[in-house]
Structure 1
Amino acid sequence: MNDMKKVIKPMKNRLVRYIVLAYAFTWLFWWADAILLYVTGQTVEDTVPRILLALGALGPAAAALCSLDCGFTMIKVKALLLGSRHKRVIHAPEYAAGVREKRPKKGWLWFFAVLAGETALCVLCAEGITRHDPLAAADFARWLILYTFLAGSQELGWRGTLQPLLQKKLPYPMTVLTVGLVWGVWHLPLCFMTGLFNGLSGFGPAQSLLIFLLASLTLSFWLGAVYNKTNAVIWPMLLYGWTGALTDLVKLRLNGRTLAAAALFTLICLVIGMTGAGNEAVKIKRE
């Protein structure tokens, strides 16, 4: 019992620390960006607003690195990205309490399975390709890189930090729902940026936030399943990058068929995630 108390308290502290830092770091830049756009009349394509937008997107990654257990080291960052056999370098208190996570066997295959399913979903529900010019492939590659390593760096926080911490306390379905909600609300300042959503698409802040919540909740199931099967953040990062680049290339039909297909795929990902290594703990003899 005393051992478990030693585990739970550091986890709780890391959980609160991560959420506070992720929101504080991001919102500092994004609210400043929203005010700048409103006051000066600049657009999101201008240099300063674009820099503020990019810096804010790094909030979850920065918070994750500041919330590593027992301090920051490159070994821990490598383990977070690529996975660690026993998760020893990241979740040291858990290891001290005699718990370790199984290393997934060929978990990366599940990444390709989910990626193939998502791609098939987009193709089946697409109205067509948004671009057909010779530079479309080059732009797709550029967006793939940007989405993976800039926007996808969020996965260090949402999947690599928040999900495993919550999963020690909550059932897996509640974990991914909670991560999705926290992730969705985190986008709030973007809903007030003139020209980003409400200016270009005619959406107000409330509508924009609803879109972010729905997208974040859905992706939380998809990305969460990949992380649970691999225990390595690099795979959700790659899937996030592919998702962003693909949805920029393909124009989806927003109808009942698309929603039903997305719901079915989300349910499949839920089942995949519930059978992942992140749900299994193996008791070992304390060293």
Structure 2
Amino acid sequence: MGQKEATSIRPFVLFTYLLFWILFSITGLAVFLQAPPIVLTVLKNICAWSSTFVVLLLLRHTKESIPDFIKKQFPRVGIADFMIPTVIQALIVALSILCFILLRGESVKGLSYIKLSDIVPAILINITSGPSGEELGWRGYALNALQKKHSPLVSAILIGLLWGAWHFPLWLVSGLSGYDLVVYSLSFMLGICSFSVFLTYFYNKSKNLLVAVWVHFLFNMLLQIVLIEDYRLITIVSVFYLVASTLLILIDKKSMTTNDSLTSAAPRVGGSS
């Protein structure tokens, strides 16, 4: 990573981690005090917005205004930019669940599904948490900053590692321990790095943040349609996202290994954009 790029994203990463830990601790205190479920849900969603809060703060120290930066995140976009990743992600989840039940010797008929009455609340909770709360920071700011120096592939992997490690506190409260926690953590990192490449590919096609929000939303929401509370499903999903990302790179190698066509980038802190 070049010195200027490191200078650009280092404050973002450090302050995002710090703020998330603070908000996470407040949420943990609320759990300890047995706060109402609605309060806990709101606090959990606020935690997901830590990167956005940090970006808005950092932008005050650049020559680019917040309205201009946000406006730049929403250029013209086509329906195909949403439909193509939607089909691929639906296929990934379907194949993952099929492999999961086959490996366990179970039947599709034995699966449990989300209740109709829970669909709308699940959509609202999901869309207002990670998808809308994380993408302005991790994709709109940090990814674009890295892509000023590195290829989309390298930038996506770096973001995947940083973004994945940012979730570390969530691993500690997963309820897992020992071998299971290690497998879950490694699967999570594999999955989030693979997903970061997948997401970067489709985001770069339009540079419209709504695409990133949508793809992120589908990643979360599709896994909640079928009720499977077994961390080993994450391992299978991670492998399929790795396969999908690898195929995208092989099919469209140029767009992931060169950054000649990338013009949108995050401003450097303390400097011009």
TM over 0.5: yes
Q: 1:210 to 1:32 in 2, by over 3 A?
A: farther
Q: Which residue does 2:134 correspond to in 1?
A: 154
One-letter amino acid matched to 2:75 = G
Q: Which residue does 1:248 correspond to in 2?
A: 224
**Residue of structure 2 aligned with 1:224, choices 200, 205, 211:** 200
Higher relative contact order (CA 8 A, sep 6+): 2
The reply to whether residue 110 of structure 1 matches residue 81 of structure 2 is yes
| Helix, strand or coil at the partner of 1:279 | coil
Q: More strand by proportion, 1 or 2?
A: 1
Cα offset for 1:33? 3.4
The reply to whether residue 239 of structure 1 matches residue 223 of structure 2 is no
Cα offset for 1:42? 4.6
Aligned residue-pair number: 244
CA contact (8 A) 2:188 2:238 kept: no
CA contact (8 A) 1:225 1:273 kept: no
Cα offset for 1:183? 0.5
One-letter amino acid matched to 1:184 = G
The reply to whether residue 28 of structure 1 matches residue 22 of structure 2 is yes
**Residue of structure 1 aligned with 2:169, choices 174, 179, 189:** 189
1:80-132 deviation line (CA, Å, top 9, x unaligned)? 2x138xxxxxxxxxxxxxxxxxxxxx665233212211112222332455326
The reply to whether residue 198 of structure 1 matches residue 175 of structure 2 is yes
CA contact (8 A) 1:198 1:208 kept: no
Comparing 218-227 with 257-266, greater Cα deviation is found at 257-266
What are structure 1's unaligned runs of at least 5 residues? 85-105
The reply to whether residue 125 of structure 1 matches residue 101 of structure 2 is no
Q: Which residue does 1:215 correspond to in 2?
A: 191
Aligned mates of 2:150, 2:134 — CA distance in 1: 22
Matched residues, percent identical?
Answer: 19
Aligned mates of 1:258, 1:50 — CA distance in 2: 25
1:183-233 deviation line (CA, Å, top 9, x unaligned)? 01101112223xxx116x998764553343223112101211111111111
Comparing 223-232 with 210-219, greater Cα deviation is found at 210-219
Comparing 184-193 with 123-132, greater Cα deviation is found at 123-132
Normalised to the residue count of structure 2, the TM-score between the two structures is 0.73
1:2-32 deviation line (CA, Å, top 9, x unaligned)? xxx9xx74x5433122112211221111134
Q: Which residue does 2:55 correspond to in 1?
A: 64
| Helix, strand or coil at the partner of 1:131 | coil
| Helix, strand or coil at the partner of 1:198 | coil
Q: Which residue does 1:73 correspond to in 2?
A: 66
Aligned mates of 1:167, 1:28 — CA distance in 2: 29
Aligned mates of 1:173, 1:124 — CA distance in 2: 25
Q: 1:140 to 1:111 in 2, by over 3 A?
A: same
CA contact (8 A) 2:160 2:194 kept: yes
One-letter amino acid matched to 2:50 = G
CA contact (8 A) 1:115 1:239 kept: yes
CA contact (8 A) 1:147 1:244 kept: yes
Normalised to the residue count of structure 1, the TM-score between the two structures is 0.70
CA contact (8 A) 2:16 2:50 kept: yes
Q: More helix by proportion, 1 or 2?
A: 2
Q: 1:207 to 1:198 in 2, by over 3 A?
A: farther
